[in-house]
Structure 1
């Protein structure tokens, strides 16, 4: 027996050595893109920005190149500032990068369309949203949008005011009417408050920095412990999000039962096999659509007040189409290329989402000789791409003419970056685009926008605007004067048809 063991031992030793070397080779450090030096244990923890992230990543990119990497507490992050790299990964290889980064805290709070992982439910939601909000479908729902826009402009005409709340109510009313057949009657509407509270709960849960995201085992702590407040927060936010899903859906069901329901997307989905997924989709339409379209509309009002020459040219183009005798409609769009140019410049000048929502590599990949290991968070710095002077000459200036025929520069359509990429592209982009066009067209046909001042009454200037930090970057709070171009303009807005 001893002799047998003696003969086996060398062979076993060799096998162990081979296994050890193979393991080392397999676990070799990946060749990641360059980035700031990593510190012991914490890596780049203090290099990862939490405010105005797109500007901070742009600074790092200027030092290390247009594809950079960071690592903190074991999580790798890659940020791209080159349009070709973004298209290659998120569009050409989109299926590999369709994953989302969801920390443990977010998982404890609940799921949603934006952060849902690829799979059957994700595909079902995308299909449902495309059915209701595809390019052809949105052409048949403009009456709801036009009515809401007329109402908000008449309200804004009464006195100079901050347009944020009126616009928030308007876009909320559009989404709730289309989704649930619900009509908003007042500013402090319960359903709007419910939707806003649900959005806030989601955003809190997805913020970086939760200890439980770094050490997931903490989720099993008893919630009564003094240092387990995150568990109590998660339970509270989960209930808020569930309420935001359930209440509007049940309200629509009750109206159907009573026989007085207004046709809506929710009513079309009820009773089907995808009802629960449909309820989630309807809830998340508010968070996905209201904030971004409202922000673009705020930027439009601000841009018109600060650039009266652009406003005048656009008004002239609208008048040539309508003769000043009617309001413009979505059918007029092909005859109004300058308005389309303004929309593109709004999306570029101050991007709605400056740092695209994080994608996650679902398998190992490479780019330009660099490794992208499975599980790496990959982001596109949309701000840097849309302010590249080689693509967009004089990028800090508001110049819609850059998107007109014969303009200098490449001037690629910024909507290719503003609404996401590949399998994660925003399913509501056609609805947002159509609504934004109608906001511009009807406002320009009937109103003069002027005298933009900050919340302290100081006149605003185009070259000194400082947009707010956040996932959706809004302009600073401001007031402006919105006056009817004539009494006939006011009459056009007041007409019911």
Structure 2
């Protein structure tokens, strides 16, 4: 009888062994999945350190583990603009869980002012970015650094803002603008190349003290440095799941590619920066931000030599690219709304004269040309260069209008939604900025960021936009969209700039000769 019972148990066990193994495997997989989801749970779904449960604005639910990350990463260019507009439909704030991070999109001026400007001391750090900040930037680009590492770099960057520096840099901006205008006269079909040469030359001169004499290849490499760095931000899944960077080095399969990009970037920076550094040390360097602020003994910068290099070179990166893009957008606006361009020209004529009696506008005219100043602001609002700003991360728990944001929550300005917060947002209308704050490009505009993290060079950018918009509006006839330059494949859109009279051509070339840049304008246009 016992034997029959054992045989029955054995038969039952064999019969159900497969099911037992499947059940065990399912339990193990479920346990692992639960552990992974718990470990990588986004900040906004974790209780704060004091045990308080987060209370967040509404937002799309997203997928398990990844949240809204896969949807956001699929969007690019026009599709990202459309997506950001749609996300603003949730209200003034939209919550996105992105991997193990939580972003709160700020979709209005009001909440941006409240959380980025007024609470800047609580929202001025950054979330960890092991790839774009760590491997690509070697934890030295201040844009992505947390507050404690960013503060020292920010302190020395304030040397860009004092009145003496702005006056010195202004003289250089006017001289480089004189060359750009001469280049427009000599080769109008290369208008977009003239924008980049101006932007790069100004910022290199400010940062390093010398007009750049670089080959086309060297300039392209610097442009690539900007493109590769910006393209690395958030591209790797590791930046959205920063705890993956704690894995043993041999398991970090992403590391070789990004580390190689970081070495290339460092070597490129060194080729531009080290000769200037050496001239500062031996006393032969001309005036510059590096000589007079960054490396000056009175500054007492507490970083090492590589820190100095990254502070200087990131100024070149940022200043070259954004000014170039803004001037290209100006040309686009002239096509879209030529009457606005004509209004700017009329304002310049009233101040600077017309025809044979005309003079070129100068930076000292800024307060007297409010429409041109308004045009600069509208350029950045109408077609925002930065659709999203880097996250402003809460360094402490924040209560705001019934919401409870735990420390680590990222607040990100939705540049598309905020720039659309006006009447007829798709219409280019500089008049909307004629409010008494025209000469403050950051007032009411968040394209330079905000709070303590606002771009330290925004006043320099404003002055570059002003002088070139005013000077391009003065002599140019309409930008002609019918002209197709099929050979210029790198032209952002096909146009041809025309000049409205021989007297303006003579004025521009005369000013370029007086500024000592006419010969260079000719060689740059060949």
What TM-score bracket applies, with the shorter chain setting the length?
Answer: 0.7 to 0.9
For residue 295 of structure 2, what is the aligned residue in structure 1?
A: 270
Written as runs of structure 1 = structure 2, the 5 A alignment for 1:186-335 is 188=216, 190=218, 192-211=219-238, 213-214=240-241, 216-217=243-244, 228=253, 230-256=254-280, 261-268=285-292, 269-270=294-295, 272=297, 273-274=300-301, 276=305, 277-324=307-354, 325-335=358-368
Report the CA distance shift for 1:211/1:385 in structure 2 as closer, same or farther (over 3 A).
closer
Mapped partners of 2:185, 2:382: distance in 1: 26
SS for the counterpart of 1:156 is helix
Mapped partners of 1:169, 1:360: distance in 2: 36
The normalised TM-score by structure 1 is 0.81
Written as runs of structure 1 = structure 2, the 5 A alignment for 1:483-494 is 483-494=498-509
Q: 8 Å contact 1:453–1:478 — kept in the other structure?
A: no
What residue ranges of structure 1 are gaps of 5+ in the alignment? 1-22, 407-411, 458-474
Mapped partners of 2:48, 2:327: distance in 1: 55
SS for the counterpart of 2:428 is coil
Q: 8 Å contact 1:454–1:477 — kept in the other structure?
A: no
Written as runs of structure 1 = structure 2, the 5 A alignment for 1:338-487 is 338-388=371-421, 392-404=422-434, 416-452=445-481, 477-487=492-502
Listed one character per residue, the Cα deviations across residues 252-276 of structure 1 (whole Å, up to 9, x for unaligned) are 1344567653321112233634274
Report the CA distance shift for 1:126/1:415 in structure 2 as closer, same or farther (over 3 A).
farther
Mapped partners of 1:73, 1:312: distance in 2: 49
Mapped partners of 1:157, 1:400: distance in 2: 27
User: Equivalent of 1:130, from 130, 136, 158?
Assistant: 158
| Offset of residue 418 of structure 1 | 1.7
| Offset of residue 420 of structure 1 | 0.8
Question: What value does the CA root-mean-square deviation take over the aligned residues?
Answer: 3.0
Mapped partners of 1:341, 1:167: distance in 2: 20
Q: 8 Å contact 2:160–2:456 — kept in the other structure?
A: no
User: Equivalent of 1:58, from 73, 78, 85?
Assistant: 85
For residue 143 of structure 1, what is the aligned residue in structure 2?
A: 171
Q: 8 Å contact 1:156–1:163 — kept in the other structure?
A: yes
Report the CA distance shift for 1:159/1:283 in structure 2 as closer, same or farther (over 3 A).
closer
Q: Which moved more, 1:106-115 or 1:423-432?
A: 106-115
Mapped partners of 2:385, 2:211: distance in 1: 27
The normalised TM-score by structure 2 is 0.76
Q: 8 Å contact 2:56–2:403 — kept in the other structure?
A: yes
Mapped partners of 1:28, 1:126: distance in 2: 34
Written as runs of structure 1 = structure 2, the 5 A alignment for 1:63-102 is 64-102=90-128
Mapped partners of 2:309, 2:477: distance in 1: 40
For residue 180 of structure 2, what is the aligned residue in structure 1?
A: 152
Q: 8 Å contact 1:144–1:174 — kept in the other structure?
A: yes
| Offset of residue 193 of structure 1 | 3.7
Q: Which moved more, 1:375-384 or 1:421-430?
A: 375-384
| Offset of residue 307 of structure 1 | 2.6
Q: 8 Å contact 1:78–1:379 — kept in the other structure?
A: yes
| Offset of residue 357 of structure 1 | 2.1
Mapped partners of 1:159, 1:57: distance in 2: 39
| Offset of residue 200 of structure 1 | 3.1
Mapped partners of 2:96, 2:107: distance in 1: 14
SS for the counterpart of 1:94 is coil
For residue 35 of structure 2, what is the aligned residue in structure 1?
A: none
Listed one character per residue, the Cα deviations across residues 148-204 of structure 1 (whole Å, up to 9, x for unaligned) are 2222232233445353332112211111111112322456162x3443233234224
- Pair member with larger Rg: 2
Q: 8 Å contact 1:201–1:241 — kept in the other structure?
A: no
Q: 8 Å contact 2:483–2:496 — kept in the other structure?
A: no
For residue 460 of structure 1, what is the aligned residue in structure 2?
A: none
What residue ranges of structure 2 are gaps of 5+ in the alignment? 1-46, 516-526
